[in-house]
Structure 1
């Protein structure tokens, strides 16, 4: 027997759920203004925990329905549910079975008689039987049964609309022919002119490495001119009227990250933005039982709405975020990772800046840094890298008006323009760098904002390698995609944008790939010129050994040794200086001496680059999972 709404509201929510009368009144107000069910407001806007709700139902004697997700089928009126999917999600109702004279549904709130009546009106018949299930189970059932059209768009929208911009194809036929031709030509020339080709190859690698490092060095110096600038003043921020703020969507992609979900809830609570204007989506993969169960069992109220993504490949962050786009309601949208701690006023800063800048600016990138920077040597080096990247290099790119590769989080979009761009490429594992270039190619602009989001720096070597290899692989993907037609790219982004792309995207992974090769060449040249190779040929006749050494020395003349020494000395000094500069904006002066270790840190990048290169060939869409929640730091380090 179904009790009255008033009975359930009092028994379940007030007496067993411990909601106060004023809270119930507030929820009812939001229920009308946001057009969502009472329970959904209570669970997703910080009033009631899911564990408390489940306990209230059990104490009321309600038997919770358990779905068999493997055998769910759409009802005969499935088109009605598909077209009204957002409504069913907001009302937490799943039509389980329907025939000509029978309708059975599963719902999460037995007090929701209004929406039961609406279901009957939509499906054209009375509800004969209803079951009560946890809200996440109802959401999952709806998404995996009726969300497949959205899933298809999330995966293939870029491919369907602009195949040339999609990373689903790693190497095109033309690129393979070009690479093959270069290798064959190089091998042929080396066969006939071994010394000349070897020296030329060495010189080209040295020159490109030096140019790439010099570009980043100059970019950092240029970005340092904006070190003390503030794009939104405190006075402007104080004038922000909460009533005039737009709805703001926050996407929170998670995968097997139950250990940081609790931290995420508290971090979101610190945001200075009207709660009813936040549209927070927690993106959970349907087969991620770890995170799914952790959310179901949360024992304190949350301020996010879970979205359950139907299972499909590729299992990547951009695919999950694309799926979330189709259920987003904000004028602006941003992405935070599960462990992120954004400045509490970041959303207001972004809305203020969007009002100030021209309409062709569609993305604002905030700075990223780390709250556990002093945990160990690796976190210190990682912090130095992020500091010069986000505090100096990206502002330098911004001032030069060249494509800015977005970071993986804290990039804030105009929602309508993001949809116009097609969202992210679900097959690219550094989807934001790719999106930054696609935006620039369509004459849209990206700028940076002096607001920081603190993240967890990787404190484990092997975990760092996994993360960095994915990032570098994604840069390789992005480079291959946009260099399928170099002339077309040049026409789209102009000369400045084209060369900025070459040095910043191409130069980044090229530097890491070439660095150990040239280092080995340099070490070998130094050994050759110190006579140490004589020891290796002690077993041969003196005249034979001299002939071998003289033959080897032809490949490494003295002038080439001088160039290599200069290149490595000056190149490493420039990057050490850049790392030292990075401490000043955040006054992290205790890190300055760790910049001297940067050459060894680059070797770690090289290991990651070669791992990424291998994966680019063998499994290009594989998302190398980074484990979070490893830090022992519970509080942010002082900035």
Structure 2
């Protein structure tokens, strides 16, 4: 067999390609490794002044604690929804300043049955439910395909708390979460925050262990490293909190830069029914949390990380696919999203809630929703 030696031109092309590829590969790795090197060399060697986290001072007291609206999207979460509600209601923060809004799909019998059971279990007649939390039916024609960002936008338009947060149904929040968030946003003047995430059942198999390792890498190394050097930080799908005006501004910027996602007919419907049609989360984006983090970074909003851990009770991959609220229902034929509102009352054993399974919260700009 005769071997034909490579021509000088071919050799030159291969060498040039190898050199260019090597330079590009080095540049890409430098971009990715630079934050880690900076974070470990500077933050770890030169002390707390380089700490990327905002921490709640011991004994800190609020003159006027801000109000929270927690948006808790859920789909087929009946087996875990209780732990998110219970942990929020056990938080070391004035409970009358926290409102939990569970975002559910109308046909989601699993979650809604669980909510009805919880309402019966924790219902205390001596705790009145203020009329301002009366639930009303949300018209079926609320625009957009059923998904998590659509539900979050609806929840945002339906609430009026000073701070808006996203918590997943399988989350177990830290008792200091709300106090730390309030300190970071109100006392320190930041626009939005991201907390840490971790798993609680890593011994349930190697897949869960891998999930926990991924969470640890992302929230204990990548996110603080990127934030430390000023890189854009993609938000996680939970344990992020925003000043209300931050999300209002994000919605305005989105509409200015990308135009409205609504048709003229949909916009007219929103106006007729008292919904502003806010879009702080992109309703057409399947990674709305990631995209919102990039948008806020690009526009110069002030972010901080909080050294508070939310623990997630991981389930099987099948249920996990629909676990982040409506993530598993994108493009489905579900007619509308809804809110089952857990009011701002707490008694010795838990929370109070309306037992109605077909009622929904109204837009904050109106006292009731129209079905026209």
Q: Does 1:374 align with 2:165?
A: no
Q: Which residue of 2 aligns with 1:257?
A: 77
Q: Is the CA contact 2:144–2:283 (under 8 Å) kept in the aligned structure 1?
A: no
Q: Distance in 1 between matches of 2:137 and 2:14?
A: 55
Which of 402, 407, 421 is residue 236 of structure 2 equivalent to?
407
Displacement of 1:370: 1.2
CA 1:458 to 1:257, structure 2 compared with 1: closer, same or farther past 3 Å?
closer
Name the count of aligned residue pairs.
276
CA 1:272 to 1:293, structure 2 compared with 1: closer, same or farther past 3 Å?
same
CA 1:459 to 1:203, structure 2 compared with 1: closer, same or farther past 3 Å?
farther
Displacement of 1:343: 1.2
Secondary structure of 1:367's counterpart equals: strand
Which of 384, 387, 392 is residue 221 of structure 2 equivalent to?
392
Q: Does 1:300 align with 2:121?
A: yes
Which of 22, 30, 35 is residue 219 of structure 1 equivalent to?
35
Displacement of 1:424: 0.5
Which structure carries more helix by proportion?
A: 1
Q: Which residue of 2 aligns with 1:339?
A: 170
Q: Is the CA contact 1:263–1:339 (under 8 Å) kept in the aligned structure 2?
A: yes
Q: Is the CA contact 1:436–1:446 (under 8 Å) kept in the aligned structure 2?
A: no
CA deviation vs aligned residue, 1:270-318 (integer Å, no higher than 9, x gap): 2111111112111112232332233223342279977876556422111
Unmatched 5+ stretches in structure 2: 1-8, 252-279, 333-372
Q: Distance in 2 between matches of 1:356 and 1:273?
A: 15
CA deviation vs aligned residue, 1:526-584 (integer Å, no higher than 9, x gap): xxxxxxxxxxxxxxxxxxxxxxxxxxxxxxxxxxxxxxxxxxxxxxxxxxxxxxxxxxx
Q: Distance in 2 between matches of 1:230 and 1:214?
A: 21
TM-score by length of 2: 0.63
Displacement of 1:388: 2.2
Q: Distance in 1 between matches of 2:11 and 2:230?
A: 42
Q: Distance in 2 between matches of 1:385 and 1:421?
A: 29
Displacement of 1:230: 7.9
Q: Distance in 1 between matches of 2:100 and 2:191?
A: 20
Displacement of 1:207: 5.8
Q: Is the CA contact 2:93–2:179 (under 8 Å) kept in the aligned structure 1?
A: yes
Secondary structure of 1:364's counterpart equals: strand
Q: Does 1:447 align with 2:304?
A: yes
Unmatched 5+ stretches in structure 1: 1-192, 475-618, 624-639
Displacement of 1:402: 2.6
CA deviation vs aligned residue, 1:351-394 (integer Å, no higher than 9, x gap): 1122443x4x3111111111122322222222222212211221
Higher RCO (Cα < 8 Å, 6 or more apart): 2
Q: Is the CA contact 2:54–2:304 (under 8 Å) kept in the aligned structure 1?
A: no
Q: Distance in 2 between matches of 1:338 and 1:307?
A: 23
Q: Which residue of 1 aligns with 2:89?
A: 269
Secondary structure of 1:300's counterpart equals: helix
Q: Is the CA contact 1:397–1:403 (under 8 Å) kept in the aligned structure 2?
A: yes
Displacement of 1:414: 0.5
Q: Is the CA contact 1:286–1:310 (under 8 Å) kept in the aligned structure 2?
A: no
The 10-residue stretch of structure 1 (275-284 or 206-215) with the greater mean CA deviation from structure 2: 206-215
Q: Does 1:425 align with 2:282?
A: yes
Q: Distance in 2 between matches of 1:458 and 1:198?
A: 49
Q: Distance in 1 between matches of 2:18 and 2:201?
A: 40
Q: Distance in 2 between matches of 1:467 and 1:392?
A: 27
Which of 314, 323, 334 is residue 154 of structure 2 equivalent to?
323
Answer with 1 or 2: which has the greater Rg: 1
Q: Is the CA contact 2:73–2:102 (under 8 Å) kept in the aligned structure 1?
A: yes
The 10-residue stretch of structure 1 (193-202 or 260-269) with the greater mean CA deviation from structure 2: 193-202
CA 1:297 to 1:204, structure 2 compared with 1: closer, same or farther past 3 Å?
farther
CA 1:206 to 1:275, structure 2 compared with 1: closer, same or farther past 3 Å?
same
